[in-house]
Amino acid sequence: MRLLAGLLAAACLASPAAADEIDNARTVQIAVDGSIPQRCSMGSIPNIDFGDLNRGNLSMRARVALDCNVPFTMVVSGSTGGLTHTTMPLGQGPYSGVVPYALGISMAVRHPSVETVNRVFDSRELRSGGTLSSNGGIATDGMMLSIELGTPSGEAGLLAGNYAETITITVSPM
């Protein structure tokens, strides 16, 4: 019994070496970290039907959701370089088969202050693709798209028929 009491007293008086180090410490460093996955998402863009192209001065504007929590680059391309006749893209005789257009993109980016990034692409330029950078900012407030149709180059106007173009916008984090 006396031996058991002696061992218990010795155990209570003993202090581990780590406790002495903490008692004498002036600075303690704790590593803390975490992560947020990068994200770039864009809302849907409705198809646009300008109707009768002979009316002239046709344009449209649409707000599109855009949310990127990292800086990004946007690549914009057009399949034909204009609103193009679906069966006779070169037109026929004095009638043109292409209506050029201008595609405008405007968006607010933050880094941390807000700056507006704007770019207007000519439809012919979009055949090879055009780029727009967020200039190191992030986008949370969407973007404004605008399309303004130009004047066809044919001396007699446009060839009768249907016209189409597919515009592709790809957003990639930097």
**Nearest Cα to Cα of residue 119 among 109, 130, 111:** 130
**If one looks up domain 40-173 in CATH, what number appears?**
2.60.120
Concatenated DSSP letters for 23-49? HT-S-------------EEE-------
**pLDDT category of residue 21 using cuts at 50, 70 and 90:** low
Counting Cβ atoms within 10 Å, is residue 69 exposed (0-12), middle (13-18) or buried (19+)? Answer: middle
pLDDT 10s digits, 59-102: 999 999 999 999 999 999 999 999 999 999 999 999 999 999 99
At 97 the three-state DSSP class reads coil
At 119 the three-state DSSP class reads strand
Is residue 71 a contact partner of residue 138, using CB atoms and an 8 Å limit? yes
pTM (two decimals): 0.78
